[in-house]
Structure 1
């Protein structure tokens, strides 16, 4: 009874009875409003289906578990394979079999069971100081970050942030747990400060001379370039794509899934198909500086100016399979302490 009351209160506070009409779709989103609202508005313009959104920084999977079959959620938008895997692990999403979506999204970027789909890709880049380091050579690899010559020169956000957990998971897939643990120990020894802040905060630290290198997602570079207050940070660094002579640059995704008890299932499918199509994919590319998952949709001119790179072809399913091992290794080396 308590669970039912909590779910009812949440539903009432999030989506009013007026909004719970026939032609609507309810979205739970980890993605920031300015990143997804343009696409959702375009979807409404094209279909007449109203999109109601609840934005959150964390806790959506737990919220869906709590709400159970009384959840108003139809579609979940999130970032990183680790968070998509969490949704499947908690059994709060359902499989979707759509010829449209499967035709738009390559198999590498969707769950083999159809429970989640990538919408955009982003590279886990390495930023380097223009003044003190310069552009890194094509031979530069993530493994190099553990070399002694980088001691005291690297900044990163916490290791247990989903973006870094996924990178560590990929390292385990390629190198095994023992070598990855050794790499993490070397990387920790080379940090200029305790892991903290955001990806953009690490670039700011490079600008301020606190470190010479940082890990960060590629789309943040575009966001900083287009932010008056942060452009100076971006101007102080080069963006580099590691692994070009090895496995390639680690690539992750933002993604979508259909909620397990979606009350507006048909509209949810229409929205997911729209997000995988040309219009939304182009908008993601131009507005968010992420790369489209749909083949044939070009990145923005700014993203293209950073140069082409070889992306790691490791499947996201395999990366997700090493998530627990990655967290365990980060704990063992006390990376964030």
Structure 2
């Protein structure tokens, strides 16, 4: 590296206020959308097993733009993120590089990794439909049912433009085509009990408060609410239902990881990514955050397992991701959030 580039990279590292990154041989640098409470214990295990120090920069937004802005001077080796849309955004902007790894291919089912090996899922999460345990009880339901007239005024959801809902709409497009998806989306909007607002937990609270009977939400929020004394009554007010069990299967999203294009510690980064796909890290993901391990042989937590087995949509996420822009367009066309 030229003295000029070396100085620029050093300056970029010094500018980081939330992490002290460097490029010594036994280190690896992470930019993480995922929260510290989950990631830090896993990284401690990795360091314990390998002797490789892990430096982490946490942020809930702006990391993709940062990697792009830093370019080849970026200290980031790995980006950890939630939602398939961010993984695709990183790869589509040419900010990643492929990994050829038999371990990753063995640990991660093909539908949960990029066909070109640019991104890899680490956990899965289901887009469930919650129902009022008092007024409705457990139900055999599909996403398509939410468009039926009998559901009018009974559904709550967060913004349609949130990545979790964009991915769901993209999956409907992938299965049924854009025209049918638009009709479905218009009907779901007409059935909403209120304007889309709040997060997934807020929808469950709305069911408890009697504002609606059904709510869209990711599975792990139920575990989080049951662990929170202030929210346990919300969780106890709903049943968790896995949609489309007799058709396509429930829509599944992921958290995942990429190796950055200019990773200064590439070998260590690949070791870390392989570790995250293997038993120790997979079990920690399952226990701490109520997510489903992407490695099939690792079991979910006892609480998550108690919700029952389910059939997941087998359509590769890469195919669903191709419809993300179309999904955003439809959400705008039907003015879903207005």
TM-score by length of 2: 0.95
Matched residue, 1:282: 283
Partner of 1:61: 64
**Aligned partners of 2:337, 2:177: CA distance in 1, in Å?**
21
SS in 2 for 1:26: strand
Match of 1:102 in 2: 105
Deviation at 1:296, TM superposition (A): 1.0
Structure 2 CA distance for aligned equivalents of residues 103 and 77 of structure 1 = 20
**Partner deviation per Cα, 1:129-158 (whole Å, 9 max, x = no partner):** 111111112xx1100101111111111111
**1:51 alignment counterpart:** 54
> 5+ residue gaps in structure 1?
none
Change (3 A) 1:155 1:10: farther
Q: Find the aligned partners of 1:10 and 1:152 in 2 and give their Cα distance.
A: 52
Which moved further from structure 2: 19-28 or 101-110?
19-28
Matches within 5 A, 1:58-137: 58-137=61-140
How far apart are residue 11 of structure 1 and its match? 2.6
1:36 and 2:46 matched? no
Q: Secondary structure at the match of 1:54?
A: strand
Instruction: Give SS of 1:229's match.
Output: coil
In 1, the alpha carbon distance for the partners of 2:60 and 2:175 equals 31
SS in 2 for 1:120: strand
CA distance in 2, matches of 1:170, 1:6: 43
Distance 1:36 1:26 in 2: 13
Could you say which residue in structure 2 is the equivalent of 1:301?
302
How far apart are the structure 1 equivalents of 2:20 and 2:297? 40
- d(CA) in 1 for partners of 2:6, 2:212: 51
RMSD, aligned CA: 1.6
Instruction: Please give the per-residue CA displacement for 1:83-102, whole angstroms capped at 9, x wherever unaligned.
Output: 11000111111111111111
Please give the secondary structure, in 2, of the residue aligned with 1:111. Answer: coil
Q: Which residue of 2 aligns with 1:320?
A: 321
Deviations 1:303-322 (A, max 9, x none): 11001111110101100111
Q: Partner of 1:310 in structure 2?
A: 311
| Cα distance in 2 between the residues matched to 1:297 and 1:305 | 15
For the Cα contact (< 8 Å) 1:4–1:67, is it kept in 2? no
Matching of residues 219-238 of structure 1 within 5 Å: 219-238=220-239
Give the Å deviation of 1:336: 1.1
CA contact (8 A) 1:169 1:323 kept: yes
What is aligned with 2:20? 16
User: If the length of structure 1 is used for normalisation, what is the TM-score?
Assistant: 0.95
1:144-184 Cα deviation digits (max 9, x unpaired): 10111111111111111111111001000111111100111
8 Å Cα contact 1:160-1:327 kept in structure 2: yes
Aligned length: 332
Secondary structure of the residue that 2:329 maps to in structure 1? helix
Structure 1 residue 36: Cα displacement:
1.6
In structure 2, distance between residues paired with 1:35 and 1:330: 32
User: Aligned partners of 1:288 and 1:42: how far apart in 2?
Assistant: 17
2-structure distance, mates of 1:5, 1:231: 52
Q: Give the 3-state SS of the residue equivalent to 2:13 in structure 1.
A: helix
Q: 1:5 to 1:128 in 2, by over 3 A?
A: farther
